[in-house]
Amino acid sequence: MSQLELLPINVAGEWRLGGGDVYESLYPATGEPIARVKAASPADVEEAIARADHAFRTSGWAQMLPHVRAAVLHRVAALIRERGEELAQKQRLDNGKPINETRALVASAAATFQFFAAALETLEDAITPSRGAYVTMSVHEPMGVVAAITPWNSPIASEAQKLAPALAAGNAVVVKPAEVTPLMALELAKICEEAGVPKGIVSVLPGKGSVIGDAITKHPLVKRVSFTGGTTTGKHIAHIAADKMMPVSLELGGKSPTMVLEDADLDHAVNGVLYGIFSSSGESCIAGSRLFVARGIYDEFVTRVAEAAKNLRVGDPASERTQMGPLITAKHREGIERYVQLGVDEGGRIRTGGVRPQGAGFDKGYFYTPTILEGLTNSARITQEEIFGPVLVAMPFDTEEELIAQANDSVYALAAGVWSRDFKRAWKLGRAVQAGTVWVNTYKQFSVSTPFGGWRDSGLGREKGREGIFQYMEQKSMYWGTNEQPIPWANPVA
């Protein structure tokens, strides 16, 4: 074990070493340790949640006037921007994303806090139509202690996406970051503290999901869990939640189709397809990993995509020229390699990639080349199972009916892309495909003001959007009597 200083965790505002095992966080570009973490223990979970519940009830956070609480969230956004480069460099080390991408993620986190601060300040309850001698109102209250369990592929953006609306709603929040990427959640906790979030309202508990995530999810004081990650883990959380009668938000896996019609602008489509699958090294739930191309343009289009993929710059995440950095771990890369070999065994042909890059700078990191396979059907395992890496499977189609059937033939339904100059065709296809998000003539664009989530095995519930705050609140109906006389049922019989 190296001599790096041990990082403290945050137990309801107290910074201290966790009670769990010590582990190293590795830089994916070199495999070298960048931090040592003393993970949380089940006892830390118990203490953090009990103290969070106490802070929720006594700190005044939940009772603050909305514009006062919003001002704190605005300060969080300002501090993120103030420390933007420092945070971007730290996230680059945390998960190996290219620096230009981590800068964008930090900017996204700041914008998320800003948006939910503004949404909170203008949030309205409703007076509903009266149907008697009373005034009826629909109001919303914070839940109490809620949990945010976040993934390793976009830590600061994912954590902000859960933390900002949960705090805006007036809750206390326990964050469980991915074991391999603990740094950004800890930084966000420091920023929240400095911005004025009361002590105890935010906790960050790194550690194994099977230990710490489970303990958090099962705790009776936790009133909601928002999870982003794998479908198997999401279903496990859903089972626990069902036993507790607890609401959950689950943003899970994807096997997203991107569809190129014969009338598409091919320049735009080539770039969009490349960006959709190979940005973030394909480690994205919304990655456009199934490519359907009209048969008449299939050979030309796939050739163009394959040639462009060969020229993508894979390398050092610290370089502003890099387009694809390393994968998150050696184990994850090995899993992707097994999938590519499975695709070949199923009859697929590799058009490009399918190997580890060679040369100086690649020997120690977890790099893999952009990979395109063809010659497979939509029923092959490699086209049905989420790979979570830079692997694209290309397939031709003949009719739109066939295209829609194949695009929807998946247990996942998270995202999709349509490329066509014909507005009417694109609209029809976009409405027919089953997915939580459909991009037309673009891909992988996001707005915090627009709800996001999936269908089927891609998850439950929605994040983002003005309504995102209500995901972390309980709805309450209130009746104000206006009748002049007592309710007649209680009057004695004359």
Q: What is the pLDDT of residue 227?
A: 96
Angle separating helix axes 183-195 and 84-95, nearest 10 degrees: 160
| Angle at the Cα of 483 from the Cα atoms of 478 and 487, rounded to 5 degrees | 90
Is residue 295 within 8 Å of residue 398, measured between CB atoms? Answer: yes
Is residue 53 within 8 Å of residue 221, measured between CB atoms? Answer: yes
Q: What's the token pair of residue 292?
A: 């359907």
Q: What is the pLDDT of residue 486?
A: 85
Q: What is the pLDDT of residue 493?
A: 60
**How crowded is the C-beta side of 326, counted as CA atoms within 13 Å?**
29
3-state helix, strand, coil in the chain (%, to 5): 40, 20, 35
The position carrying tokens 């309710």 is 487
| Angle at the Cα of 308 from the Cα atoms of 306 and 312, rounded to 5 degrees | 115
| 207 vs 455: CA distance, rounded Å | 29
Residue 482 burial (CB < 10 Å; 0-12/13-18/19+)?
exposed
| 199 vs 54: CA distance, rounded Å | 10
Three-state DSSP at 337 gives helix
The catalytic residues are 251, 285
| 72 vs 193: CA distance, rounded Å | 10
Q: What is the pLDDT of residue 1?
A: 42
Q: Which helix (H) or strand (E) covers residue 227, if one does?
A: strand 222-228
Is residue 145 within 8 Å of residue 52, measured between CB atoms? Answer: yes
**How is the beta sheet containing 6-7 ordered, strand by strand?**
6-7, 32-38, 22-27
| 235 vs 315: CA distance, rounded Å | 36
Three-state DSSP at 18 gives coil
**Taking Cα atoms as reference points, which of 419, 476, 434 lies closest to residue 142?**
476
Q: Name the DSSP letter for residue 355.
A: S
Give me the count of residues in the chain: 494
Q: Name the DSSP letter for residue 170.
A: T
pLDDT by residue for the chain (494 residues), tens only, comes to 457 889 999 999 999 999 999 999 999 999 999 999 999 999 999 999 999 999 999 999 999 999 999 999 999 999 999 999 999 999 999 999 999 999 999 999 999 999 999 999 999 899 999 999 999 999 999 999 999 999 999 899 999 999 999 999 999 999 999 999 999 999 999 999 999 999 999 999 999 999 999 999 999 999 999 999 999 999 999 999 999 999 999 999 999 999 999 999 999 999 999 999 999 999 999 999 999 999 999 999 999 999 999 999 999 999 999 999 999 999 999 999 999 999 999 999 999 999 999 988 898 999 999 999 999 999 999 999 999 999 999 999 999 999 999 999 999 999 999 999 999 999 999 999 999 999 999 999 999 999 999 999 999 999 999 889 999 999 999 999 999 888 888 766 65
| 28 vs 322: CA distance, rounded Å | 14
Is residue 280 within 8 Å of residue 383, measured between CB atoms? Answer: no
Is residue 199 within 8 Å of residue 13, measured between CB atoms? Answer: yes
Range 123-126, long-range pairs (CB < 8 A, 24+ positions): 123/66, 123/466, 123/469
**Taking Cα atoms as reference points, which of 310, 282, 302 lies closest to residue 96?**
282
Three-state DSSP at 37 gives strand
- What amino acid is encoded at 494 in this protein? A
Angle separating helix axes 99-121 and 66-82, nearest 10 degrees: 170
Q: What is the pLDDT of residue 333?
A: 97
- Give the alpha-carbon dihedral of 74, 77, 78, 84, to 10 degrees: 180
Q: What is the pLDDT of residue 360?
A: 82
| 149 vs 173: CA distance, rounded Å | 10
Q: Provide the CA 271 distance to its chain's centre, in angstroms.
A: 23
